[in-house]
Amino acid sequence: MKTINKPDVITYLIGNLNDNIVQTKKDPDLMLTYRDGTGAKDNSLLKLNPNAFLIQLYSDGIGIISPIGPKKDEHKLTLYYFVLQDLPDVVRSMLQSIGLVGICCTKYLSLETNRIKYFEPIINDLNHLQTTGLSVQSFNGQLHFVLSLLAGDNLAAHEIGGFQRNFNSGQFCRLCHISYEFRLTPLTDISFLPRRVTTHNMYVQQAVKPFNTKPVAGVVGESPLSHLIGFHPIKSLPNDLMHDFAEGVCPLIILAMLKEASAKRLMTYDQIEQKMNTFNYGMNDHSNKPPKIRAKHLTNNRIIGSASQKLCLFKLIPIIFDDVIDQLTNTLDIYTCLREIISYTYSTKFRKSWLPYLDSLTTRFQSLMVHHLSQVVISKVHFVTEYSRLIGANEPATHFWCMRFEGKYLYFKQLAIRSLNFKNPAFTLIKRHQL
Ligand SMILES: [Zn+2]
């Protein structure tokens, strides 16, 4: 309400929404917003009010004390945010445009009864907003709203969707029926059934039966948001670029390339460190300059740095190590394939005609990984292959990534540390946020 009543917000929203609709009408191949994906066609409220504003939710957890301290679990909070997706990109990326839906202690949400209690008012408010709309002083007429997606990392998405919480066994994907044992089968030979609404609802019924302790096809129970209009666990919880790419497969490939260079005696670990040290980052990359890769990072299979720094390093690898890159016969193909995938998935506007090519690229990437680097094929390698389907069903993946929301995370984390009040941190943060 506070956001909507700010001067010019409604003008921005309506202007941008109309601009997008006009552009996609002129060029139906273009994908700009959630309205252009196939998922929007099943959204009955959006069909009823095609000009309704889109609300996106985001969930994240923050630890507000030292992660190695004895009370780390006690002071872990789960936060829910919302953003109006129809704001122009420049306005939407501002932290003030991200509103807070609620904060709760994470340990409190582990009990089902507590989850129901916590989500009930949120669901009621959102359902009321979606069905009756909103009247505000700055606009004569009723404003309509529709829920689009709930963004979050994989663990948060599985918790809120009622899926199993580990990615190293069973059916670990919330979009299809892949089993962990089949992750090493090239997708050129096999394809996995996508999850369907009717079968998913059936699995939920089986999973919640008394005395059942095992996940049923990766489903462990009903989603606490199952009564939220427009929400379904298999449709509303997309994967996130930042976690799957920048913090997932990109560091894997960087490590594999550097290790291949060392194994082939093209460079020692010390020379790798030296090259990183002496490299001059350009003006645009300087703010994302990655920390040095030391020998111990390579032996521990760990690349340090933020998501942006890891992505920057991934993109610059052929330039930093230009003298050896052509000799990395095992990993160079995988690198170029992933680099091409990234150029598609990180685009802010997408074309429907690109989807089949993106699909073939991700299948090739998975097959190359299985063939050359099978020992590091983790669940995120499979998630990469879901992106053509995800984008086709929703919108360009940069519209539901976590990157911008992480800025808000930093704001709350700093606020909690500065306030030094741990009696009821959720209350303190909400109060300070509303000031
Ligand atoms: Zn899948």
Assess contact for 269 and 298: CB atoms under 8 A: yes
Q: What is the pLDDT of residue 384?
A: 94
Q: Which residue, among 357, 103, 329, 345, has the nearest Cα to 238 in the 3D structure?
A: 345
pLDDT over 60 (residue 1):
no
Q: What are the E-state strand segments in 109-171? A: 134-136, 139-143, 145-151
Give the integer Cα–Cα distance in Å for 356 and 335: 20
Distance 199 CA to ligand 1 centre (A): 15
Give residue 161 CA to ligand 1 midpoint distance, Å.
Answer: 15
pLDDT tens digits, residue range 106-152? 888 888 888 888 999 999 999 999 998 887 776 777 888 999 999 98
Model pLDDT for residues 401-420, shown as the tens digit of each residue: 888 787 777 777 777 777 77
State yes or no: pLDDT of 202 exceeds 80: yes
Asked whether residue 7 carries a pLDDT value surpassing 80, the answer given is: no
- Structural contact between residues 335 and 254, judged by C-beta atoms closer than 8 angstroms: no
- Structure tokens, 383: 């998630």
210 CA → ligand 1 middle, Å: 28
Say how many Å lie between the CA of residue 61 and the centre of ligand 1.
24
Confidence of residue 3 (pLDDT cuts 50, 70, 90): low
DSSP 29: T
**Distance, CA 384 to ligand 1 centroid (Å)?**
9
In degrees rounded to 5, what are phi and psi of residue 178? Answer: -70, 145
Measured in angstroms, how far is the CA atom of residue 181 from the centroid of ligand 1? 13
What does the pLDDT read at residue 65? 64
pLDDT digits (tens, 9 = 90+) for 350-391: 999 999 999 999 999 999 999 999 988 999 999 999 999 999
Ligand 1 centroid from CA 193, angstroms: 8
Instruction: Give 365 Cα–ligand 1 centroid separation in angstroms.
Output: 15
Distance 223 CA to ligand 1 centre (A): 19
* Three-state DSSP class for residue 303: coil
Please give the distance, rounded to the nearest whole angstrom, from the Cα atom of residue 21 to the centre of ligand 1: 31
Q: How much is the pLDDT for 238?
A: 93
Give distance in angstroms: CA of 147 to centre of ligand 1.
24
pLDDT score recorded for residue 138: 67
Tell how far the Cα of 351 is from the centroid of ligand 1, in angstroms: 22
Residue 177 has what pLDDT?
A: 92
pLDDT digits (tens, 9 = 90+) for 324-354: 889 998 899 999 999 999 999 999 999 999 9
Distance 405 CA to ligand 1 centre (A): 25
Between the CA of 55 and the centroid of ligand 1 the distance, in Å, is 26
Mean pLDDT of all residues in the chain? Answer: 87
Beta bridge partners of 54: 146
How far does residue 407's CA lie from ligand 1's centre (Å)?
29
**Looking at the whole model, is its pTM more than 0.85?**
yes
CA of 111 to the centre of ligand 1 (A): 28
Q: How far is the CA of 240 from the centre of ligand 1 (A)?
A: 14
Name the most confidently modeled range: 9-13, 35-39, 402-406, 413-417: 35-39
Compute, in angstroms, the gap from residue 387 CA to the centroid of ligand 1.
10
Q: Does 168 have pLDDT greater than 80?
A: yes
Average pLDDT over residues 307-311: 91
Q: How far is the CA of 183 from the centre of ligand 1 (A)?
A: 10
Q: What confidence score (pLDDT) does residue 389 get?
A: 93
Contact 42, 29 (CB under 8 A): no
Q: pLDDT at residue 67 above 60?
A: no
Mean pLDDT check: name the lowest of 63-72, 273-282, 293-302. Answer: 63-72
- The values of phi and psi at residue 100, to 5°, are -100, 130
Q: How many angstroms is it from 191 CA to the middle of ligand 1?
A: 10
Q: What percent of the chain has pLDDT over 90?
A: 38
Cα–ligand 1 centroid distance for 233 (angstroms):
14
Whether 2 shows a pLDDT value over 70: the answer reads no
Work out the end-to-end distance of the chain between its first and last CA atoms, rounded to an integer number of angstroms. 15
